[in-house]
Amino acid sequence: MTHHSLLLILSQCVIDGRHVESEQTVRTLLGEGASPMSVLDDGLLPGMAVVGQRFRDGEMFLPQVLVSARAMKTAMAVLEPLLAASNVEPKGTVLIGTVKGDVHDIGKNLVSVMLQGNGYRVVDIGTQNPVEKYLAAYEQHRPDVVGLSALLTTTMMYMPTVIAGFRSRGIPVPVIVGGAPVTQRFAGEIGADGYAKNAVDAVDLVNRLLKRT
């Protein structure tokens, strides 16, 4: 089977959420001499692009997208060490986490996978993060963008505390926000640099902020 055929199969595995087959196809491609970058650019990314478009158009729903994200993540676990070894530069680094008091992580995890699938390095610090943890992670990883997630109307009120923590220290990093109760208006009121209503829009937002394609 040609590389082109295998890449098409890989894209379809991601779209269908077949995570075991997606990993096997990645290993087959690599075993037949395909470059890690080609597997990502010509197999995984086109598949995730279809998933994102269908999600945005209401043709796929969150449970299906999460299954596709798992297939993407499984494949990326094989590819990432090889991409790092071949000195493929990420498009940028995004620090992401759910704010203090909030244990929800599905949306955040989906954003992480979408960003990774679009060539970004993601530092995911999990849930229940106080401002100090965001600042410590920033000092350690020096991300290009910081993302805050919240799923509760009560916990989203902690977002301005995190933003103030960065601003009071004169750290110029763009801070973006998202989550079910968060709106564009709220983002503007708390001084966030951007708002995304879903994972697809989050990738578009990071691309715009960093002027990447």
**pLDDT, mean over the chain:** 93
3-state secondary structure of 95: strand
Would the pLDDT of 174 be above 80? yes
**Torsion sign (Cα): 139, 143, 146, 151:** negative
Could you tell me if residue 89 is left (phi over 0), alpha (psi between -120 and 50 degrees) or otherwise beta?
A: beta
Per-residue pLDDT at 117:
79
Q: Which of 147, 118, 117 is nearest to 212 (CA)?
A: 118
Percent of the chain with pLDDT over 70: 100
Token representation of residue 70: 């798992």
Distance set, CA 175 to CA 37, 117, 160, 163, 166 (Å): 29, 21, 10, 7, 9
Residue 203: partners with Cβ closer than 8 Å, 6 or more residues away: 52, 111, 114, 115, 118
Q: Is the pLDDT of residue 179 over 90?
A: yes
Report d(CA 21, CA 143) in Å as an integer.
33
What does the domain layout of the chain look like in residue ranges?
A: 3-85, 93-210
The fold for domain 93-210 equals Rossmann fold (3.40.50)
- In tens, the pLDDT along 76-98 reads 999 988 988 887 788 999 999 99
Of the candidates 195, 75, 100, the one whose C-alpha atom is nearest the C-alpha of residue 150 is 100
- As a whole number of Å, the CA-based R_g of the chain is 18
Would you say 63 and 114 are in contact if contact means Cβ atoms under 8 Å apart? no
Same fold, 3-85 and 93-210: no
Question: Both tokens of residue 45?
Answer: 């990314």
Domain 3-85 class, CATH top level = mainly alpha
Q: Which pLDDT value is given to residue 85?
A: 85
- Give the pairing type, strands 194-195 and 93-98: unpaired
- Phi first, then psi, for residue 62 (nearest 5°) are -50, -45
The pLDDT score that the predictor gives to residue 213 is: 54
Using CA atoms, how far apart are residues 192 and 175, in angstroms rounded to an integer?
Answer: 6
